[in-house]
Amino acid sequence: MTTYGLRAQDVQIDVFTSGPANRPTHAVRATHLPTGLVADGGLDQSRLRSRERAVRSLALKVESHLIAKSEGRA
């Protein structure tokens, strides 16, 4: 289980790198496989910060989706 309540096997992380070799910028996209929800971590020179931001955002989206689904709105 990850820090934000998502199971690790349910999350796919994609990392994109751009910029010069000595100062690359990383963008991270996290996808929740069971629901298909996607969250981006933004551009940052730290891959770890981008990943944390993406997973945190994804966890909030999944939680909102599950709440809406239980209330019959999704």
pLDDT tens per residue, range 34-50: 999 999 988 788 889 99
Nearest to 27, CA basis, from 3, 59, 51, 60: 51
pLDDT above 70 (res 2): no
pLDDT at 73: 72
Side-chain half-sphere CA neighbours of 10 within 13 A: 15
Domains of the chain, by residue range, sit at 8-70
CATH topology of domain 8-70: Double Stranded RNA Binding Domain (3.30.160)
pLDDT above 60 (res 3): no
Q: How far apart are CA 42 and CA 51, in angstroms?
A: 9
C-alpha 67, offset from chain centre: 19
